[in-house]
Chains A and B, each alone.
Chain A
């Protein structure tokens, strides 16, 4: 039915199969839509957020997907600025994943604020001292950049490409993509950093507070590094999942291996600095506040296991796997390492948000617990549904993987 819209020379499932495939994701979107409606209509009392847990599931999701979406800007940087030609085979997928992550995060933030209609006050009444202002400005601008990076790919749809004006426009945009890749890199460095800075500057919360350089706490640099270490792994995971579902090889191994290798080194550097930062925190910030390291890990379920998981299981282990060429060439180990790495960054964001707020600062205050409501899960799950839907649609109708035809000659 939609065959004229499909890219030339590649095989796609039938329209009916595709429509069935979209059903679960549409269901997630419907769940999210209902949740969003309730939150906007009745207010944030629909969530289990509170004056203690001012930030909760949505912010964890936001920070996690923004970090995982870092594969977009970083792959763009490596492809267009550093000149790693083999990554051209994966850059489209990386851009789409980035677009999904950033637009999903923006959508969630729109519901997360108590007065969504006043969202523009961030720009109008901007407080230049606030890390969140830097985050908002950079994310908004970067989402526009991602949109611009996405446009040439959309215009390469078989039918759109036939329109001469659009073809020339798309081609011209593609020609100057290095400019947008550079802009995206600049913006992303700052907002990834500012997201870390947001928590490092909570100087009155010793669990999150960090020393730093000039106006930037160490978390500023660590969040950039962890995002560019995990982002490529998330791109690998998404690509491998697409290959598994479509039962095709879509990206040449050299591109995947290059991403895995770069991720390995960045993760290793990050871990060294993360351990140094943790030691600096244990022997600097913590005793200055009259506390001991262990004091932070006595409440509720948040024990030392968090540190062990974050640094060792989801840090050192994937770094070692990815550093060994033989191991990262093995499909199973590669995917395991990527999964561990991505879980590590999600855990890191969770710790900085939820654990920071859960640990009472006043000695006589009590520990509060938090579990999200179905409305909170609904909105978070909707982002996943939206991601699957957009990526599947893009894969179906656009030449996302340039080597698809060459790698799957039997389909021609």
Chain B
């Protein structure tokens, strides 16, 4: 397919934590969309696979001042490795070039059939967004789960690493549709992730961060916008919004006096 008009895209996500209720629909939608394998017993949280993981955080105060917020955490699809090199830390360390960043879309992909399962990428990722297949793929038979498997997504074999792909197959689908209709570009609504589509509170917005007309590129200009562990300079393409100072503060590490609360909001 020819290069789309507009050239370089930078797909990204904005998650409004003030809207997130912690319902977990994004996790379920992600797992169902991407044929994420399950275990008969999912309680071993160190070894289960959750491309989209939901963290619950609190402000640590006693009742009645307790506040709770939820942090959905997909792969951050980082642009850099933290030292200014234009590839994420997981990509630069991968021994067999099994994970790559597409500089035309900004999406960090995982090539399952090339991954040797050394897990160096997991060690490199500070967000814990990469998951190793400790067991053979398993979808409980007789419970109908196998009927939900998507033919667009290859299931992963034991011994390889997998992670969120920003539902890359949906981008492929949208591009194919555009090509069939003799279009060179795809519209904002044509490509979105399963988690963004499923969120009942519409807390997740997805789009091209480089396109000023896309909602995400406007949302990230908010004074309440921030990224997870921004000081590590990995340049994630997942942004968060929260009007709560304590939530924004909890997204990164600060030495005393370093955190600056949002004081003036215009527009």
Q: How far, in Å, is A137 (CB) from chain B's closest CB?
A: 10
Asked if A229 is at the interface of the complex by the 8 Å CB criterion, the answer is no
* A: interface residue count bin: 35 or more
Asked if B181 is at the interface of the complex by the 8 Å CB criterion, the answer is no
Asked if A202 is at the interface of the complex by the 8 Å CB criterion, the answer is yes
Provide the A367-396 mask, 1 if CB < 8 A to any CB of B, else 0.
Answer: 010000000000000000000000000000
Provide the A184-206 mask, 1 if CB < 8 A to any CB of B, else 0.
Answer: 00000000000000100111111
Decide if B116 touches A119 in the complex (CB within 8 Å).
Answer: yes
A362 neighbours in B (Cβ, 8 Å): 55, 126-128, 228-229
What residues of chain B have their CB less than 8 Å away from a CB belonging to chain A? 46-47, 55, 57, 71, 81-83, 85, 87, 89, 92-98, 114-120, 122-128, 130-136, 157-161, 228-229, 231-234, 250-255, 258
Decide if A363 touches B251 in the complex (CB within 8 Å).
Answer: yes
A132 neighbours in B (Cβ, 8 Å): 93, 95, 118, 120
Please tell me which one of the listed residues A50, A122, A203, A292 contacts residue B83 in the complex, with CB atoms under 8 A apart: A203
Minimal Cβ-Cβ distance residue in B for A208: B123
Decide if A43 touches B132 in the complex (CB within 8 Å).
Answer: no
Q: How far, in Å, is A97 (CB) from chain B's closest CB?
A: 26
Decide if B89 touches A202 in the complex (CB within 8 Å).
Answer: yes
Decide if B124 touches A204 in the complex (CB within 8 Å).
Answer: yes
B258 neighbours in A (Cβ, 8 Å): 290
Q: In residues 111-131 of chain A, which contact B (Cβ within 8 Å)? A: 112-115, 118-119, 121-122, 124-127, 129-131
Given A55-B123, A114-B119, A115-B115, answer yes or no on A127-B96 (Cβ-Cβ < 8 Å): yes
Q: Report how far A113 CA is from B158 CA in the complex, Å.
A: 11
Decide if A114 touches B158 in the complex (CB within 8 Å).
Answer: yes
Q: How far, in Å, is B31 (CB) from chain A's closest CB?
A: 15
Q: How far, in Å, is A190 (CB) from chain B's closest CB?
A: 15
Given A51-B130, A361-B229, answer yes or no on A291-B253 (Cβ-Cβ < 8 Å): yes
Q: Report how far A9 CA is from B92 CA in the complex, Å.
A: 57
Q: Report how far A113 CA is from B94 CA in the complex, Å.
A: 13
Decide if A45 touches B229 in the complex (CB within 8 Å).
Answer: no
Asked if A365 is at the interface of the complex by the 8 Å CB criterion, the answer is yes
Decide if B55 touches A365 in the complex (CB within 8 Å).
Answer: yes
Please tell me which one of the listed residues A113, A118, A290 contacts residue B252 in the complex, with CB atoms under 8 A apart: A290
Q: Report how far A368 CA is from B128 CA in the complex, Å.
A: 12
